[in-house]
Amino acid sequence: MRRSASATTFLVATTALAMPAYANQDVATRTQDPAQWAIPTGDYANQRFSKLDQINASNVGDLKVAWTFSTGVLRGHEGSPLVIGSTMYVHTPFPNNVFALDLDDENKIVWKYSPKQDPSVISVMCCDTVNRGVAYADGKIFLYQADTTVVALDAKTGKEVWKANNGDPKKGETGTMAPIVVKDKVIVGISGAEFGIQGHVTAYDIATGKRAWRGYNVGPDDQILFDPEKTTSLGKPVGKDSSIKTWNGDQWKIGGGSVWGWFSYDPDLNLVYYGSANPSTWNPAQRAGPDGKPIDQKWTMSLIARDLVTPFDEWDYDGVNENILAEHEINGKKHKTLVHFDRNGFGYTLDRTNGELLVAKPYDPDLNWSSGVEMDKSKPNYGRPTVIASKSTFQNGPDVNSKNICPAALGFKDMQPAAYSPQTDLYYVPINNVCMDYEPFKVSYTPGQPYVGATLSMFPPEGKSNTGHVIAWDAAKGEIVFSHDERFSVWSGVLATAGGIFCHGTLEGYFKCRDQKDGKELFKHRVPSGVIGNVFTYEHKGKQFIGLYSGVGGWAGIGLAAGLDKPTDGLGAVGNYAGLKQFTDLGGTLTVYSLP
């Protein structure tokens, strides 16, 4: 491994993740065909931009429902279907059914795969029973089940080709993320930081299901796959056991750092990028160093190729949000960039070839836990957010309720992905405009039991009643270009197209399309349930379609999904979203639109 001299300790994981081969050719070819939606993120760069332009800013107001499909499951529907040729692959939350629909034959169900899972896994799924999608490559569909089973299915018949066990739900390990296929490997992470797991990513051979490698995010070098001399921080080798030195004793074994967001991949650099989640527990006092002072628990809260964006996390600002790969000119120089909208409220732009931090600015003006990220390379805290003492859950101490911290633990944006349009050079970002009170307390570790150690309450920023926006972001300048309010957090992934529009769903149950230039609302339609899924598009027989799942749930909708009503339930989310039940209820429907 080598390591860049970035302020934010950006790790380029050439040993663990950059395989000695390039993108899977089948996937790469299909993602270049805008008629297909061949990967959950749209492409390896996570741009979520489609070159289709039949539906555009001048006619999107004429959209009509072309067809719908009920999944038969009433929990939170995240992610989106895949479209491979003339077949659509639809997935569901637990029990993680998969349908193959024939677009040439009135969307007839060609096959349905219904895995058999122990329902007890539901009790250790942190924030609803969601699943973010399946992957495709070389005639196979890859499903990552809630119980951590990775399954390869024959794409034509739905028959199992192989299975692999990736974790142990009895310890709190679960599977919620969409896999990625690179060359001949399918890569998955693991969920469960709220249960004190040791987070990791794992690669399996797509032909046989044999495990190729596993890289942990915390632990000794032989587990995190670091070369201590070639992996550098700020130009210097990290040294032996760089992770273990930041934990007390064997605490790293239950240190968290799970991986449940999105992978991106740069075939030219041959690097995979992803983010790791929070350290365990949420009570920072229990994770302090031997001298009782804060210490960065490496490598949690990191971008892996890796960027430590919230060192010594005190607020559950997981670093799992997507990393969007593009190119921008900054200060007169063209850079191959990685753009990351972190849960902590900062929008980061980095040079993805060497980890240089180029921009770090708040993408919501209500951010108040930090006064900013230090950009002076001569300063010892270069690249680190400067914490405002009154918002520090560590400095205030355990059993003290730190008030009005913005953003809340679910971040100004969670894993719901933004989109980038090369036509405007802007990013279209779904926002959770939510703040919190945060009270840590001492907690004991028991395998399979929550290892959180904090009570949270969430609410809108002072003086505001809405908890959501959609914004356009200039990643080269670190500036909001425009912002439009939504009643509730925008928990839907965004799609941008060559038709000059970007589209998203809303928690109360609307599908909307807007003009990329100014965000003006051009189309709005009520869908059967609240939307936490991601908008996608495809073309069939010369006609463009745009679709999305509705089915409220996830962290924001956990109150509805799991029948919770105590304000501090759902790790604090239930109270903030109590009003959702006045607008929507559970559902599970795919809605697809086209022009008349």
Strands 64-70, 323-330: parallel, antiparallel or unpaired by DSSP?
unpaired
Q: Which two tokens stand for residue 581?
A: 């039940």
Of the candidates 473, 471, 480, 507, the residue with the CA atom closest to the CA atom of residue 492: 507
* CA angle, 124 then 130 then 136, to 5°: 120
CA dihedral 409, 413, 416, 418 (to 10 degrees): -160
Alpha helix stretches (DSSP H) within 36-91: none
Helix, strand counts (H, E) of the chain: 4, 42
Q: Distance between CA 547 and CA 540 in Å, rounded?
A: 13
Residue where the block lists tokens 């040439």: 104
DSSP assignment of 322-342, as one string? -EEEEEEEETTEEEEEEEEE-
Cβ neighbours of 313 (radius 10 Å):
28
CB 157 within 8 A of CB 111: yes
- Picking from 463, 401, 469, the residue whose alpha carbon sits closest to that of residue 437 is 401
Catalytic residue of the set 147, 266, 296, 316: 316
Give the pairing of strands 346-351 and 333-341.
antiparallel
Rg, the chain, Cα only:
22
* Residues in contact with 36: Cβ distance below 8 Å, sequence separation at least 6, in sequence order: 30, 83, 84, 85, 538
What is Dmax (Cα atoms) for the chain? 68
Q: 82, 31 in Cβ contact below 8 A?
A: no
- Structure-block tokens of residue 481: 């270009």
Quick one: DSSP state of residue 468? E
φ and ψ of 28, to 5 deg = -60, -40
**Three-class DSSP category at 121:** helix
Whether the CB-CB separation of 337 and 264 falls below 8 Å is answered with no
> Would you call 394 helix, strand, or coil by DSSP?
coil
CA distance readout (Å), 192 to 1, 116, 143, 575:
27, 21, 18, 23
* 316 in catalytic set: yes
How far, in Å, CA of 235 to CA of 585, rounded? 53
Q: How does strand 543-550 pair with strand 49-50?
A: unpaired
Catalytic residue annotation: 316
